[in-house]
Amino acid sequence: MRTSRAARLAPCVALVIAGGTVPVGSTALAATGPPPPPAAATSTPAPAASALKPIDPAAFRAAVDRAAKKLMVPGAVVLLQTPQGTFRAIVGTSELGKNTPPVTRDHVRIASNTKTMTSALIMLLAQDGALRLTDPVSDHVPGVPNGAHITLADLLKMRSGLYNYTNAPELAATLDADPGKAWTPREVLDIAFRHPPNFAPDASYEYSNTNYVLLGLVAEQAGGRPLAEQFRDRLFAPLALEGTALPDIHDRSLPDPFAHGYMYGGSSYALVDKPYPAEMREAATTGRLRPNDYTFQNPSYATAAGGVVSTARDLATWIRALVSGKVLNSATQKQWLGSPQSEGPDAHGQEYGYGIAHQRFAPNAAMYYHGGELPGFNSFIGHDPDNDVTLVIWTNLTVAPDGRATAIALLPTILDQVYAGLDLPTG
């Protein structure tokens, strides 16, 4: 699951607006057969006044390949859809030690991109009248610190002030000691609630996975059914997302085909802003240190905050449908699109709303997006409704030796291939 590192387009945001470099920071497999050939662009050129560049498929693939290799990722998939067509960049292997190129139907753990699904379900339940976003969380879940004053909207927008349980050292220590442990939402909330809130409700923004674990329990209470069933019936099945599911807490497997997921060091390097020590960075860069295989670490601690398994194909369908209004009715969609709020004075225009981030990174280019990071995987999903651009990235290395979240670090390279007039340093 991700915290600040993968929460941000701001590795791009800072690049586009401040002209800096991709910052370091932090927060949620063996394919069969060769990858499908990249679809050629249509013969229709980009409109004269478009924000988009004409995309050369070979140049696009080559740029992604160069950037991914600098990050030392074992494998990566980039799926890009624009008015010019669909473009794919496939890098490396889905499993170290094998020559198995990834494919867009590979199953991966999408980590905090799950939050877009949890928020959509909450919005549907509000649309049904089963809950109101102004409800205090205490109306649905007992025992929450400040629960009578934290609204569901506060949880959705990361403005509750509740301690982020994935920051707790005891969580990472348990994950490393017992990677198969099945976690219940109550167990991780117990970790969070042992710590005092960081600020009063709605006084500030702070990314906290605790908010979305609580929203999963709210959805179960209001919807009267397990979260996985509601996801399946209300989100995944209507959009034919056949490769997408929230696994049972005892299920550590991934459906075939799947990519293995890797990371250097222990779980804490994915869960908190913990930089690699200099000697560890040097050993990883020179190949003396190999990444650990985290593919089958039990992700149940993530639940509604980051537990879903999906594919690049499904994620592209999902984020396009969600942003373009195919999931919510028109009134609820307007509320959802209008929800992003500034993360603070140093956010470079980055906003977070009801389970979605938003950023205008050029006068004629903006994207609704989310990122995901947990041990083994890093990912990004986004849709630009004004220019009809959909982008999905996943990598099977959480953090590069230089400390960058890998999928997020590929963004400047990809955006520079897509949008005209951007002055971006690339990977």
Q: What is the pLDDT along the chain (427 residues), one digit of tens a residue?
A: 644 554 444 434 332 322 222 222 233 322 223 333 333 343 344 444 579 999 999 999 999 999 999 999 999 999 999 999 999 999 999 999 999 999 999 999 999 999 999 999 999 999 999 999 999 999 999 999 999 999 999 999 999 999 999 999 999 999 999 999 999 999 999 999 999 999 999 999 999 999 999 999 999 999 999 999 999 999 999 999 999 999 999 999 999 999 999 999 999 999 997 899 999 999 999 999 999 999 999 999 999 999 999 999 999 999 999 999 999 999 999 999 999 999 988 888 899 999 999 998 877 889 999 999 999 999 999 999 999 999 999 999 999 999 999 999 999 999 999 998 776 555 5
Burial of 77 (C-beta count, 10 Å sphere; 0-12/13-18/19+): buried
Give 174's DSSP letter. Answer: H
pLDDT at residue 363, rounded to an integer = 79
Classify domain 4-418 by CATH architecture: 3-Layer(aba) Sandwich (3.40)
Measured CA to CA, the distance from residue 263 to residue 401 in angstroms comes to 9
Give 137's DSSP letter. Answer: G
Burial of 411 (C-beta count, 10 Å sphere; 0-12/13-18/19+): buried
pLDDT at residue 421, rounded to an integer = 75
pLDDT at residue 48, rounded to an integer = 42
Neighbours of 378 (CB within 10 A): 36
Strand partners, 90: 77
C-alpha dihedral, 333 to 245 to 258 to 79, nearest 10°: -10
Give 397's DSSP letter. Answer: B
Dmax over Cα atoms in the chain, in whole Å?
Answer: 59
Instruction: Give the pLDDT confidence of 26-37 residue by residue, as tens digits.
Output: 333 222 233 333
pLDDT at residue 308, rounded to an integer = 98
> Do 166 and 182 touch, CB atoms closer than 8 A?
no
pLDDT at residue 189, rounded to an integer = 98
State the pTM of this model.
0.90
The CA-based angle 52-57-63, given to 5 degrees, is 85
Measured CA to CA, the distance from residue 271 to residue 27 in angstroms comes to 6
CA atoms within 13 A on the CB side of 402: 14
What is the identity of the amino acid at 226? P
pLDDT at residue 49, rounded to an integer = 53
**Tokens linked to 207:** 């990314």
pLDDT at residue 87, rounded to an integer = 98
The closest alpha carbon to 398, from 299, 281, 207, 270, belongs to: 270
Burial 78-111 (b: 16+ CB within 10 A, else e): bbbbbebbbbbbbbbbbbbeeebbbbbbbbbbbb
**Tokens linked to 321:** 């449908």
Give 214's DSSP letter. Answer: H
